Amino acid sequence: MTIASALLDWYDQNARELPWRRDKDPYKIWVSEIMLQQTRVEAVKEYYERWIKRFPQPEDLARAAEQEVLGYWQGLGYYSRARNLLSGVREVCAVYGGKVPDEEKKVQALPGIGEYTAGAILSIAYNQRTPAVDGNVLRIFSRLFCLQEDILKASTKRQVYLLVKEHMDPARPGDFNQALMDLGAMVCVPKRPRCGECPLTSLCEAYARDVQDILPLRTPKKAPVEVVLAAALLERKEVYLVRQRPDNGLLAGMWEFPAVEVLANTTAEDCLKTLLLNELGLEVSVGEREYYYVHTFSHRKWHISFYRCRQLSGRLKPEQGRWFRLESGEELPWAGPHRKAADALRCAMKNGF
């Protein structure tokens, strides 16, 4: 029995029912794969359904404003994914008449699409023999072939890519890639792989050598940098001061309560007063801390405190911020933990606090 036959037999009996598998629309596959980056499948399902309802075709997304698109992405994080998806779809509509191209070079040239996403689109939608190598596939093949190199190294990834292509079923490349996705999610998991349930156990070198719990090898990630932040909850007649983050960098273009990093040998109060005066033109007093959240990114860990503030004098520089009514019905694409603070404020207002 080959890897392909054993894997596909298992997949035919155990494939997950996922909303993006209802058809082989390349646009929908593209959307789902971008959403699934750095995000759990169960968390993505609801976002995907809502997205496709609002943007069922590439043309619908291409016509949408970026702020609306970011609003529909709110909560998935890594917002550059949404911006790249929007740019890519606009390019598909402008250059390819709304049809996702079926050539690897053209697909990979679209914003935000790398080798993995291109492989998923081309194999599933267009039945092309193109591997889609992600963390699941790297883990499975490092165990199958007992690879002793760091799976995060480019040379190891290339080795796995070639192995996948060699063993891929030419008649069902899309199903082969999706079967690997499911096997990695349900059976060949990172810790304590369920080898007794695996269709590839008899073909697995790591299992034969009893090293499946050790593989794959990888260099440990660096711990995220700890960052202390203070944010201002400045209210005036039931509206709050908010501002938009810069167009580049972390959480680019998202909305937040004015926030500043609190460096060593400074206080949150002094930092907020300086920020609001110098950048927004407002003199304020800083009151008690209202909320505190810890928010972890891949490379940063925010410790952010939200303080009630009161305006003493000055006039808001309009290009630096706006007054926003939390209960207006308008949805802003909030930056990370600022959404939690906004939700907490709404709840407090609703309950009369």
Which domains can be identified in the chain, with CATH numbers? 3-209 (1.10.340.30), 225-350 (3.90.79.10)
- 259 DSSP β-pair partners: 231
Kindly give, in sequence order, each residue whose CB lies less than 8 Å from that of residue 222, ignoring residues fewer than 6 positions away.
Answer: 299
pLDDT digits 0-9 by tens, 100-132: 999 999 999 999 999 999 999 999 999 999 999
**Quick one: 180 exposed, middle or buried, by C-beta within 10 A (0-12, 13-18, 19+)?**
buried
Cβ–Cβ under 8 Å, residues 281 and 314: yes
Average pLDDT over residues 208-212: 95
Q: pLDDT over 90 for what percent of the chain? A: 79
The bridge status of strand 225-236 relative to strand 300-314 is: parallel
pLDDT, tens digit, for every residue of 235-261? 988 899 999 998 888 888 889 999 999
Is 33 one of the catalytic residues?
Answer: yes
| pLDDT band for position 15 (cuts 50, 70, 90) | very high
pLDDT over 80 (residue 152): yes
Q: DSSP string covering 273-338, please?
A: HHHHHHHH-EEEEEEEEEEEEEEE-SSEEEEEEEEEEEEEEE---TTT-EEE-TTSS----B-TTH
- pTM equals 0.77
Which is more confident, 6 or 336? 6
- Whether the pLDDT of residue 353 is over 60: the answer is no
Catalytic residue, from 33, 59, 238, 288: name it.
Answer: 33
Residue 181 host element (H or E): helix 173-186
- Kindly provide the residue ranges of all beta strands, DSSP E only, lying in the chain, ordered along the sequence: 225-236, 239-244, 255-256, 259-261, 282-296, 300-314, 322-324
Mean pLDDT of 277-285: 94
CA distance 100 to 237: 49
Number of residues in the chain: 353
Give the Cα separation of 233 and 342 in Å (integer).
Answer: 9
In this prediction, residue 12 carries a pLDDT of 96
Structure tokens at 153: 């190294």
Average pLDDT estimate for 4-21: 96
Specify whether the CB–CB gap between 172 and 122 falls below 8 A. no
Distance, in Å, from the CA atom of 253 to the CA atom of 68, rounded to the nearest integer, reads 12
CA-CA distance, 54 to 62, in Å (whole number)? Answer: 12
Q: Which residue has the higher pLDDT, 71 or 8?
A: 8
Going by pLDDT thresholds of 50, 70 and 90, the confidence category of residue 352 is low
Pair 14, 187: CB distance under 8 Å: no
Give the DSSP per-residue string, 10-49.
Answer: HHHHH----GGGSS--HHHHHHHHHHHTTS-HHHHHHHHH
Left if phi > 0, otherwise alpha if psi is -120 to 50, otherwise beta: which for 297? beta
Q: State mean pLDDT over 156-160.
A: 95
Three-state secondary structure string covering 186-208: HCCCCCCCCHHHCCCHHHCHHHH
- As a dihedral over the C-alpha atoms of residue 167, residue 168, residue 169, residue 170, rounded to 10 degrees, the angle is -110
For the cut 60, the answer to whether the pLDDT of residue 342 exceeds it is yes
Instruction: Read off φ and ψ for residue 165, nearest 5 degrees.
Output: -65, -35
How many Å from the N-terminal Cα to the C-terminal Cα in the chain?
67
Give residue 97's pLDDT.
Answer: 95
Q: Which residue has the tokens 């009161």?
A: 310
Higher pLDDT, 296 or 8: 8
What's residue 71's pLDDT? Answer: 87
Among 310, 308, 350, 352, residue whose Cα is nearest residue 327: 350
Is there a contact between 6 and 201 (Cβ–Cβ < 8 Å)?
A: no
Six-digit token string for 163: 């192995």
Q: What's the chain's average pLDDT?
A: 93
Q: Between residues 221 and 87, which one has the greater pLDDT?
A: 87
